[in-house]
């Protein structure tokens, strides 16, 4: 029976899928429904969650017909490549996605027998990876920077977009703000010590230092926000971390400044 497809913005696509445990009539019904749906919609691949069935099932159609992959696991990868992809969930969106060139899959058939397959055809490999992402509660937009996914979402109404890809940098420029702030704080501590032992009154310098810390952290905040939008995949770009960085340094600067006022 042809089933209704899960299409954006239907969020059921984000449901993580469970493993198939029983290889029974129910499974066969689902597999047949998936094939019927693929034929009716002229599809070459489908994961079960795309018809709102949250289990680890993928069907890919090739020259030999429909091939069923139950509980597939990608255990080996080789080579990296950018693939221009489309998917049914986001109609009219075409976007460049980082994928592995060759993958090795372990899966079961409808009878629960285990099979192994090396997929080195780039189209089939990227299709399998895209369908696997669905099984784990993600779409291909999770693989691209946030600015690209935002652009894609905006473009859905107007039909079609090719976004460029940027990878997460190993060194973030926002760290320059943090590094410089730490140095200012270090000199503020030294200035405080000199002031406390009454060797010299460096309170004006402490005030300048504190003002600098405030300005640097404001700069850090805005630049970090820019990077968080640019590099969606970076877990270190989360706003919680950025706020933590700011709060720590502002607190320390404020404490040094406040103590200096007593001397």
Partner 1 sequence: MARVVVMGGGVSGHTAATFAKKWLGSEHEVVVVTPNSLWNWIPSNIWVGVGEMKKEDVTFSLAPVYKKAGIDFRQAKALGIHPEGGSTHGDKPYIVIEYTGQGKEGQKEELTYDYLINATGPKLNFAATPGLGDANGMGEFTVSVCTADHATHANHELQKIFHKAKTEKQTILVGTGHGMCTCQGAAFEYIFNIEHEAKKAGVRDNLDIQWISNESFLGDFGIGGLHMKRGGYAASSRLFAESLFSERGIPWTIGAAVTQVEKGKAHYEQLDGTTGVIDFDFAMLIPPFAGVGLKAIAKDGTDITDTVFAPNGFMKVDANYAAGAYENWKASDWPKTYQNPTYKNIFAVGIAFAPPHPISKPMKSPSGRDIFPTPPRTGMPSGIIGKAVAHSVCDLIKQGSSAHLHEASMAHMGAACVASAGKGLTNGTAAALTVYPVVPDFETYPGLGRDLNYTFGEIGLAGHWIKHILHHLFMYKAKLNPGWTLIPE
| Site of interaction with partner 1 (CB under 8 A) | 11, 14-19, 21-23, 54-55, 71, 73-76, 104, 106, 114, 116, 118, 133, 136-138, 142, 168, 170, 233-236, 238, 240-241, 244-245, 248
Q: Between 22 and 158, whose beta carbon lies closer to partner 1? A: 22
Angstrom distance (rounded) from CA 39 to CA 185? 66
Q: How far is the CB of 199 from partner 1 (least distance, A)?
A: 29
Angstrom distance (rounded) from CA 126 to CA 124? 6
The DSSP code sequence of 71-95 is EEEEEEEEEEEEEEEEETTEEEEEE
Q: How far is the CB of 122 from partner 1 (least distance, A)?
A: 20
Q: How far is the CB of 23 from partner 1 (least distance, A)?
A: 7
Q: Helix (H, G, I), strand (E, B), or coil: what is residue 45?
A: strand
What is the helix (H) or strand (E) element at residue 261, kind and residue range?
none
Q: Between 37 and 242, whose beta carbon lies closer to partner 1? A: 242
Q: Between 75 and 196, whose beta carbon lies closer to partner 1? A: 75
Q: Characterize 1-21 residue by residue with b for buried, 16 or more Cβ atoms within 10 angstroms of its Cβ, and e for exposed.
A: eebebbebeeeebeeebeebe
Q: How far is the CB of 245 from partner 1 (least distance, A)?
A: 8
Q: Between 3 and 242, whose beta carbon lies closer to partner 1? A: 242
């Amino acid at each position: 029976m042809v089933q209704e497809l899960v299409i954006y913005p239907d969020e059921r696509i984000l449901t993580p899928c469970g493993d198939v445990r029983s290889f029974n009539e129910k499974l066969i019904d689902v597999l047949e429904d998936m094939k019927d749906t693929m034929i009716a919609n002229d599809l070459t691949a489908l994961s079960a969650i795309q018809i709102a069935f949250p289990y680890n099932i993928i069907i890919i159609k090739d020259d030999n017909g429909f091939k069923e992959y139950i509980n597939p696991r990608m255990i080996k990868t080789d080579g990296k490549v950018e693939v221009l992809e489309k998917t049914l969930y986001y109609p009219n969106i075409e976007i460049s996605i980082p994928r592995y060139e060759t993958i090795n899959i372990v899966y079961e058939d409808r009878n629960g027998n285990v099979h192994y397959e090396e997929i080195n055809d780039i189209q089939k490999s990227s299709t399998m990876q895209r369908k696997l992402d669905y099984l784990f509660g993600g779409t291909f937009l999770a693989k691209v920077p946030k600015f690209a996914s935002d652009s894609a979402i905006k473009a859905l109404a107007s039909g079609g977009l090719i976004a460029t890809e940027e990878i997460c940098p190993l060194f973030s420029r926002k760290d320059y703000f943090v590094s410089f702030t730490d140095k200012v704080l270090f000199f503020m501590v030294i200035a405080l010590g000199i002031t406390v032992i009454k060797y010299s009154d460096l309170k004006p310098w402490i005030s300048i230092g504190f003002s600098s810390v405030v300005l640097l952290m404001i700069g850090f905040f805005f630049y970090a926000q820019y990077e968080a939008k640019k590099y969606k995949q970076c877990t270190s770009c989360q706003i919680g971390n950025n706020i933590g960085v700011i709060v720590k340094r502002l607190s320390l600067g404020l404490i040094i400044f406040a103590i200096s006022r007593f001397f």
